[in-house]
Every structure is written in C-alpha cells, then in structure tokens.
Amino acid sequence: MAACGLWPSQRRVLAVVVDDDGRVAAPLVALDDDDRWGLLGRLDAEHGLDCELVFPESMLRADVICRYAVERRHVTLVAPSQLVEAIRRAAGLDRAPRTAAMIARLALVPALRHHLRRVEHVAGDWRQLSLL
C-alpha cells in the first residue's frame, strides 16, 4: 500500500507518494481549489483508492483539499504538528517535497503510524470532522 504526504507551500499544496518499498514518486502540485480536486483524481488514477493520504494537523481545517479527500472517501490520516515539526528539524528538512515525503512515510513506519489519527466523514456539515 502506498501513502501520500501533503504539505502546504506558498499558497500551493505539494503531494508526494511513497510506496511500500520506499520509492518516491514525483511531486504533484496544486495551485488552486480546482487543482486540488484534480490532484486527488490523479492520485486515484495513478495509485488507486487504497493510497492513504497523510496531512499535517495544521492543514486539516486550513486547506480545502482535506475536505475534498474526506468527501471522496479517501483514507485520510492526520499527523500531529509537534511530531511533524520535530522530525523536520531533526532531519534538517527545509524543502517542501522532502517534507511531504517524510509525512507519507509516517503511515508506513509502524512505530510512528500509531501517532496518526484517522479522519472520518460526518454526515451534514463538512466542517464537522470526526477524529478517531
């Protein structure tokens, strides 16, 4: 199973898919809301619906792509901001594509995966997200 890490960077979103063997796909970039919806469609087509999406907690309500992912019924996971920042600093990650790849790897490492929370769709108002 593959995982896709997403990271905000200068009004755009970068998405990087990492497969089970650690291979990293080329980054995908979304500039506006239409691009964000299209990016999710591209992930579906290229990596399948079982590709888990991993967002930093700071993006959960701040970016429309999170809502789109939940509406499309993607497996959507949230990484705590403190964990993401700690790993970014320890690894010296200053570039967005590498940060997105690191976020994807959180879902693939059993010792780190248990820190992630799954986001579930709640019927009614899209602003009501259930974190399990």
The 10s digit of each residue's pLDDT in 34-56 is 999 999 999 999 888 789 999 99
Give the percent of the chain with pLDDT over 70: 91
Structure tokens at 13: 């979103």
Give yes or no for residue 130 having a pLDDT over 80. no
Tell whether the model's pLDDT for residue 127 goes beyond 60: no
pTM of the model: 0.86
Over residues 73-81, the mean pLDDT reads 92
Residues 82-96: what's their mean pLDDT?
92
Q: Which residue has the higher pLDDT, 73 or 18?
A: 18
Structure confidence at residue 123 (pLDDT): 57
Strands 130-131 and 12-18, by their bridges, are unpaired
Q: Tens digits of per-residue pLDDT, 29-39? A: 999 999 999 99
- Tell which CATH classification among 3.30.420, 3.90.930, 3.30.1490, 3.30.1600 matches the domain 3-131: 3.30.420
| Host H or E run for residue 36 | helix 33-47
Of 86, 75, 100, nearest to 12 (Cα)? 100
Residue 62's pLDDT is what? 86
Confidence label for 128 from pLDDT (cuts 50, 70 and 90): low
- Radius of gyration of the chain measured on its C-alpha atoms: 13
What is the pLDDT, as a whole number, of residue 10?
Answer: 83
